[in-house]
């Protein structure tokens, strides 16, 4: 009996402990995975701490400078510069894809305007009398700058869009030769153009200061669409806008161009990338606006080109387009052929 009681007691103890183990096991064994993940992640964190090298590669990706014993104008102590990829995507993206549309839209608008409006003729009979409009110095300055502008525009656009447009036409070798010639012309003529633009700004700034008459001119959009003749001085509102465009774009394009043209002042790559983007965008917009100026000065209006070539314009043209200015210079009107007429006098030098 005693032994039976003993075994019963032992049985109960085993049952009790088993129950305790099962209960505690059920509660705590599922938590064991936390212990496991904690130790593993602790080890991973330790590996992270023990990897100071990561800082070097971070520094490299941030474009930090190191030391190099190599020297040369294009040898840098930076392992990876990041600006290049940004520049590439800007230049090959928006600059290459969007800017041509500005030119195309401008050409289209001018063509449409010309189809609808046609050339604006001088009204009434032409007496043959002329008044001086541009001095010889002004004309030389204009055509000096204008011809350089055209050469720079053609060569610059060739370099920007030639790969897409001209290589299929000229082939890689033909375009290679043209591009080589273009970059040489562009780089060597650029500084001469800067001189022309700066002189133009100096010479024509005074006559292009906005006046009260210009407010009226802009209210009527210069008669562009109504066809009426809005009173204007020597320079009308549209011409003044063009002048200030020349001043702003001229300075921006000149400054960026000179920085790009003379890489021997140790400009950083980041500077060159930025200047290149500004130069491309501003000069293409400038070319687009210049197309409007070229149209207005030739096909758009009869009798205006004569002023910039021969220096004198017909009296009828002056009355029609620049009546306020005509009042100032009408005493200088002379008949006969323009070549032998007197050189434009003091009135032209003291504009309205």
Partner 1 sequence: MARMKFLCDAERCIECNSCVTACKNEHEVPWGVNRRRVVTLNDGVPGEKSISVACMHCTDAPCAAVCPVDCFYTTDDGIVLHDKDLCIGCGYCFYACPFGAPQYPQQAAFGVRGKMDKCTFCAGGPLQDNSNVEYEKYGRNRIAEGKLPLCAEMCSTKALLAGDGDMIADIYRQRVLKRGGRPQTWGWESAYGTTG
- Tell me which residues touch partner 1 (CB under 8 A): 47, 51-53, 56-57, 59-61, 64, 66-82, 84-85, 87-88, 91-92, 159-160, 162-163, 167, 172-173, 175-176, 179-180, 183, 187, 261-265, 269, 272-273, 276
Closest approach, Cβ 201 to partner 1, in A, equals 25
Element (H, E) at 312: strand 312-314
Cβ-contact 187, 257 below 8 angstroms: no
At closest approach, how far in Å is the CB of 315 from partner 1?
A: 50
Which C-beta is closer to partner 1: that of 186 or that of 321? 186
Of 276, 222, 275, the closest CA to residue 92 belongs to 276
CB of 104 to partner 1, least distance (A): 21
Name the minimum Å distance from CB 153 to partner 1. Answer: 16
Minimum separation from the CB atom of position 44 to partner 1 (A): 11
Q: How far apart are CA 214 and CA 304, in angstroms?
A: 20
Nearer to partner 1, 7 or 92 (CB): 92
Alpha-carbon separation of residue 147 from 3, 139, 192, 314, 352 (angstroms): 126, 12, 11, 25, 28
Query: For partner 1, which is the closer residue by CB, 80 or 108?
Result: 80
Report the distance separating Cα 339 and Cα 47, nearest Å.
90
Q: How far apart are CA 351 and CA 86, in angstroms?
A: 48
C-beta of 82 vs 226, nearer to partner 1:
82
Q: Would you say 3 or 69 has its CB closer to partner 1?
A: 69
Query: CA angle at residue 159 from 157 to 160, to 5 degrees?
Result: 65
> Which residue is associated with the tokens 């209960």?
23
Tokens representing residue 350 in the block:
């003291």
Q: Nearest distance from residue 251's CB to partner 1, in Å?
A: 21
Which is nearer to partner 1, 266 or 331 (by Cβ)? 266
Q: Write down the residue that tokens 């001095």 correspond to.
A: 135
Q: Which is nearer to partner 1, 170 or 296 (CB)?
A: 170
Nearest-approach distance from CB 275 to partner 1, in angstroms? 10
* Residue that is written with structure tokens 């029609």 in the block: 320
3-state secondary structure of 123: coil
């Amino acid at each position: 009996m005693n032994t039976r009681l003993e075994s019963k007691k032992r049985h109960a103890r085993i049952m009790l402990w088993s129950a305790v183990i099962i209960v505690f096991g059920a509660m705590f064994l599922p938590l064991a995975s936390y212990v496991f993940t904690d130790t593993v992640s602790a080890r991973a964190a330790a590996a992270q701490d023990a990897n100071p090298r990561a800082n070097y590669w971070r520094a490299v990706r941030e474009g930090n400078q190191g030391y190099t014993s190599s020297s040369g104008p294009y040898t840098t102590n930076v392992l990876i510069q990041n600006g290049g990829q940004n520049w590439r995507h800007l230049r090959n993206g928006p600059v290459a894809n969007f800017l041509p549309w500005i030119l195309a839209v401008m050409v289209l608008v001018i063509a449409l305007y010309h189809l609808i409006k046609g050339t604006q003729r001088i009204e009434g009979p032409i007496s043959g009398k002329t008044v001086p409009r541009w001095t010889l110095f002004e004309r030389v300055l204009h055509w000096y700058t204008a011809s350089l502008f055209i050469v720079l525009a053609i060569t610059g656009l060739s370099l920007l869009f030639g790969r897409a447009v001209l290589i299929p036409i000229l082939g890689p070798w033909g375009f290679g030769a043209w591009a080589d010639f273009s970059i040489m012309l562009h780089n060597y003529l650029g500084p001469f153009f800067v001189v022309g633009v700066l002189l133009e700004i100096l010479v024509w700034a005074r006559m292009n200061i906005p006046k009260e008459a210009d407010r009226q001119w802009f209210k009527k959009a210069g008669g562009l669409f109504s066809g009426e003749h809005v009173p204007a001085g020597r320079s009308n509102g549209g011409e003044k806008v063009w002048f200030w465009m020349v001043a702003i774009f001229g300075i921006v394009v000149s400054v960026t161009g000179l920085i790009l043209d003379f890489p021997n002042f140790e400009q950083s790559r980041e500077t060159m990338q930025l200047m290149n983007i500004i130069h491309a965008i501003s000069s293409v917009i400038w070319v687009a606006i210049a197309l409007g100026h070229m149209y207005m000065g030739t096909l758009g209006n009869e009798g205006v080109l004569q002023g910039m070539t021969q220096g004198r314009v017909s009296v009828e043209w002056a009355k029609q387009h620049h009546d306020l200015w005509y009042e100032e210079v009408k005493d200088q009107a002379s008949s006969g052929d323009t070549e032998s007429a007197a050189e434009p006098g003091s009135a032209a030098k003291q504009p309205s």
